[in-house]
Amino acid sequence: MRIATLLLGLLLLAVPSSAENAQHFKNGSPVVLQPEMAYLLYRSVVHEDWINPVERTLLIRVLTPDELSEIQAPHDKNYAFKTRPNLIVLVGNDAYAKSGTEWTYVAAVPPGAYILAGPPLLCMGTVQFEARAGVITDLGYILKTRSNGPTEIPELKPYAPAKHRVYFNPLLYAVRPYADGMFIPAALANLPRVSADYRAVDRFPNYLHFFIGRLAPVPGVLDYDAEGNVVDLKANKSAAQAMPVSSR
């Protein structure tokens, strides 16, 4: 019950009208870490045949207990303005570095716990990570492809059709956590950096009224049982029982 209540609270403010863009660093510009901000480093694979080659990615910032206490009943018309927006947009065109079809991004966001949200809204299963103040959190790769055709992304191949389909379909998402050998821009090499500690997030309602989906399984972190229920592999039990969602 606790996780359901907190998820309701964190999503009450997650509406498009309250979204804000992360502060992206572009074209290798200097990155000076500010103690009151958190920083994200992530990579993606560009699809050259897309008109907008890298779609925007949404993160939901988990509201702190203090922020939750400020929210009144949902019928209060001003509830969306009682705290800063908790829906963060990572803008796909604002790359820090490009190497062929692989683009690297650096963005500043408010510190806290974040849920990878999509779109489509990954409310059928996704992951959460903590972004600490004054530190770069390395997310590894955030990978995506359209679900109406084949893909070369290994994590998504099992879920993409073998042949191209004409009709529109939402994106498929996968996460490839940081591993040795992944590209790190030279300008960031000596800055404090930690790998994201991903944890599974259980299902939650589609408050954003988007297409819905779920993140592909992440080895050692996230999987699904035969009925499609989220399994937290780090806790070896259901995510609903294992996942704390409050941030400090």
Gap between the Cα atoms of 160 and 147, Å rounded: 5
Helix (H, G, I), strand (E, B) or coil at 16: helix
Q: Assess whether the previous peptide bond of 119 is cis (omega < 30° from 0).
A: yes
Q: Quick one: pLDDT at residue 84?
A: 57
Residue with tokens 């004409």: 166
Q: Are 153 and 174 contacting, i.e. CB atoms less than 8 angstroms apart?
A: yes
In a domain, 70, yes or no: yes
In a domain, 16, yes or no: yes
Gap between the Cα atoms of 193 and 138, Å rounded: 7
Residue with tokens 């992944």: 182
HSE, CB side, 13 Å, CA atoms: give it for residue 40: 31
Q: Quick one: pLDDT at residue 108?
A: 96
Q: Quick one: pLDDT at residue 24?
A: 94
pTM recorded for the entire structure: 0.83
Q: Quick one: pLDDT at residue 94?
A: 84
* 131 strand-pairing partners: 112
Kindly give the parts of the chain with pLDDT less than 70. 1-19, 48-55, 70-85, 166-169, 236-248
Q: Quick one: pLDDT at residue 13?
A: 41
In a domain, 189, yes or no: yes
In a domain, 247, yes or no: no
* Structural domain total, the chain: 1
Alpha carbon 35 to chain centroid distance?
22
C-alpha distances in Å from residue 89, one per residue of 14, 16, 72, 132: 11, 10, 25, 18
Q: Quick one: pLDDT at residue 148?
A: 77
In a domain, 162, yes or no: yes
In a domain, 86, yes or no: yes
In a domain, 248, yes or no: no
| Cβ neighbours for 66, distance < 8 A, ≥ 6 positions apart | none
Residue with tokens 């694979």: 45
Each residue of 30-58: pLDDT tens digit? 999 999 999 999 999 887 555 455 568 99
Q: Domain containing 11: what range?
A: 2-242
In a domain, 139, yes or no: yes
